[in-house]
A and B are shown apart, each in its own frame.
Chain A
């Protein structure tokens, strides 16, 4: 709306940044970030090309074998960075192609709204061509006709950068008909959203792309069978797609090797840390880096506070305890501890934070962002919020905590229509497990006597 902003207001203006300098980042260890500039300006086409940009697409186009791309991706086992960790190569191998199937769509999930997550923003604002290159490769592999970057509406700067980069790429012949003389055609449009976390769920995203209410769709059929407008469609996270060029250029073995012997998962990862730490930020680190190393890089907790708990990858992951800091942060290890790696950006909870209040805040988020399609999430989560509000105010009644247990269980995987409600259930279940005493302290009234004056509605 406002066109030019006086400089002084920029004093607290937010800029996405990586906490590693150019000196630390190398092409063979930091495939996602080595081209980034220390000044934080975007890497435009010239610079990107100078830094080996579009080499991967050039290679893939000259080889002209989509199956080889899929095979390499499968072998590299690039696991989805949107949070679920599903192998991108496997997903691509399931896309319906050939026969009388129409060419479909490659959709980049750039909705990034998971609380505690701020990684895709960096990649899009500062290195748009890496994403574009990844999308072209994805399109080749999946025989996609057109690509969309589904960008959350608030990412104004990312939209500006991406649109300019797409224009650059189109002018240079990397997008459009007959890409780089290969006969392959593919183009990309940026589709900006209008709010709502649920748009990040891949099928809700497709509905939103189609200009509908962002209710998720039932699976099966999966997007690869019937996605946008019923055509075979692939949805991948920004970071997942940004991994593709290096994998194709350097091979699956190289990619697997990036994580060394920390974990079976290959590659590097944009890890991050936020909350009351000294140096919140983002780092590209080998897959399987421990929480401890990340917390160290973040400078530890502010003001000499102690770590009480942490979320490994956003609000929809389960709470881990300080003792879990030693574990390699990969999909399977974290999964075994009753949580999920999620987006791999840590949220740190200090000892003076009430878990009941924090849970109330988290569940308010999930209840508010429910799409309202299925009953447990739509009507169960607001009840969770109200119970937590009661407990927070010492207005809980005996039975409330058991009720929370049951509500969380009833919002579990398979019981709701999509993974949104299970995402709300996981932190609640882990908080109730690890910090039950805090919740118990909120039970201050005998049964039936809390809320002579009911809690006002409209809080959620």
Chain B
């Protein structure tokens, strides 16, 4: 394993500035909607795409661009499970823990992930490579147990598949 590096060093610390391109992208989102607030979730995702997560300072910045209150933005940013408010690793693993996966080996898969990565839910590996999170039913129940790594969905995944799978995400 690589030397442990503080997550924040790699992904950026709380020092935050809204990238001009992101601001443009957020403003472009407004076209689809009657009210600017509607672009709030997408705005958070835009910031997250660049930084990996949404630092606290992004909240008033997004509020300013959208012309809404920072309280409303923070309310949205803390509601949705795919908006990360703490630094995450370069790759985020979402393991489905819902019923079909539970019935087909989720427990073993999750344990294998914990064992192989050395982290539990909400944690990031020392090398900032992976963050592990639970996710509700991925809509891949015919491929249960399933998981997602970044934008890719996998299933059925067994404990033995994991090493090969993870290798693809340096």
Which residues of chain A have a CB within 8 Å of any CB of chain B? 1-2, 5-6, 8-9, 11-14, 16-17, 112-118, 120-121, 148, 152-157, 189, 191-197, 208-214, 228-229, 231, 272-276, 280-282, 311, 315, 345, 347-350, 353, 358, 361-362, 364-365, 368-369, 371
Which of B3-11, B15-23, B95-103 makes up part of the contact surface?
B95-103
Q: Give bound CA distance, A152 to B81, whole Å.
A: 12
* A154 touching B155, Cβ below 8 Å: no
Q: Give bound CA distance, A113 to B139, whole Å.
A: 6
Q: Give bound CA distance, A276 to B145, whole Å.
A: 10
Known contacts A214-B79, A369-B136; is-contact A361 B99 (Cβ 8 Å):
yes
A194 is contacted by which of B45, B99, B137, B143 (Cβ under 8 Å)?
A: B45
Other than the known A11-B164, A156-B153, A196-B80, what 15 A-B pairs have Cβ atoms closer than 8 Å?
A: A12-B156, A12-B165, A114-B137, A116-B99, A116-B100, A121-B140, A153-B45, A196-B79, A208-B41, A214-B79, A228-B34, A275-B104, A347-B100, A347-B141, A371-B79
Which residues of B sit under 8 angstroms from A345, Cβ to Cβ?
Answer: 141
Which residues of B sit under 8 angstroms from A211, Cβ to Cβ?
Answer: 33, 35-41, 76
Which residues of A sit under 8 angstroms from B157, Cβ to Cβ?
Answer: 12
* A117 touching B137, Cβ below 8 Å: yes
* A155 touching B34, Cβ below 8 Å: no
B154 is contacted by which of A13, A193, A276, A361 (Cβ under 8 Å)?
A: A13
* A209 touching B38, Cβ below 8 Å: yes
Most buried by A among B137, B142, B151, B165: B142
Which residues of B sit under 8 angstroms from A117, Cβ to Cβ?
Answer: 137, 139, 141
* B153 touching A1, Cβ below 8 Å: no
A346 → B minimal CB distance (Å): 10
A5 is contacted by which of B81, B100, B152 (Cβ under 8 Å)?
A: B152
Which residues of B sit under 8 angstroms from A157, Cβ to Cβ?
Answer: 153
**Interfacial residues of chain B within 139-170, with CB under 8 A of chain A in the complex:** 139-144, 146, 148, 150-157, 161, 164-165, 167-169
Known contacts A8-B164, A195-B80, A208-B41; is-contact A115 B98 (Cβ 8 Å):
yes
At the interface, yes or no: B25 with Cβ under 8 Å from chain A? no
Q: Give bound CA distance, A231 to B49, whole Å.
A: 32
| Chain A minimum-CB-distance residue to B153 | A14
* B137 touching A153, Cβ below 8 Å: no
At the interface, yes or no: B44 with Cβ under 8 Å from chain A? yes
Closest 4 pairs (CB-CB, A-B): A195-B81, A211-B40, A274-B141, A194-B80
Q: Give bound CA distance, A154 to B45, whole Å.
A: 12
Q: Give bound CA distance, A426 to B169, whole Å.
A: 41
| Chain B minimum-CB-distance residue to A311 | B99
B80 is contacted by which of A1, A12, A193 (Cβ under 8 Å)?
A: A193
B136 is contacted by which of A115, A229, A282 (Cβ under 8 Å)?
A: A115
How many pairs of residues, A versus B, come closer than 8 Å at their CB atoms?
191
A154 is contacted by which of B40, B144, B148 (Cβ under 8 Å)?
A: B148
| Chain A minimum-CB-distance residue to B90 | A1
* A195 touching B82, Cβ below 8 Å: yes
A2 is contacted by which of B34, B150, B153 (Cβ under 8 Å)?
A: B150
Q: Give bound CA distance, A193 to B42, whole Å.
A: 8
| Chain A minimum-CB-distance residue to B168 | A9
Which residues of B sit under 8 angstroms from A196, Cβ to Cβ?
Answer: 79-81
Q: Give bound CA distance, A273 to B142, whole Å.
A: 7
At the interface, yes or no: B65 with Cβ under 8 Å from chain A? no
Most buried by A among B36, B39, B99, B146: B99
**Interfacial residues of chain B within 75-109, with CB under 8 A of chain A in the complex:** 75-76, 79-83, 90-91, 94, 97-100, 102-104
* B161 touching A347, Cβ below 8 Å: no
* B81 touching A14, Cβ below 8 Å: no
B94 is contacted by which of A11, A118, A154, A361 (Cβ under 8 Å)?
A: A154
Which residues of B sit under 8 angstroms from A191, Cβ to Cβ?
Answer: 32, 42
Which residues of B sit under 8 angstroms from A154, Cβ to Cβ?
Answer: 82, 94, 135, 138-139, 148, 153
* B79 touching A213, Cβ below 8 Å: yes
B139 is contacted by which of A121, A213, A229, A273 (Cβ under 8 Å)?
A: A121
| Chain A minimum-CB-distance residue to B155 | A14
A14 is contacted by which of B32, B34, B72, B140 (Cβ under 8 Å)?
A: B140
Most buried by A among B34, B39, B100, B169: B100
* A280 touching B142, Cβ below 8 Å: yes
* A118 touching B141, Cβ below 8 Å: yes
* A274 touching B142, Cβ below 8 Å: yes
Q: Give bound CA distance, A305 to B157, whole Å.
A: 21
* A280 touching B34, Cβ below 8 Å: no
Known contacts A214-B79, A280-B141; is-contact A275 B150 (Cβ 8 Å):
no
B75 is contacted by which of A5, A11, A112, A213 (Cβ under 8 Å)?
A: A213
Known contacts A211-B38, A212-B72; is-contact A118 B102 (Cβ 8 Å):
no
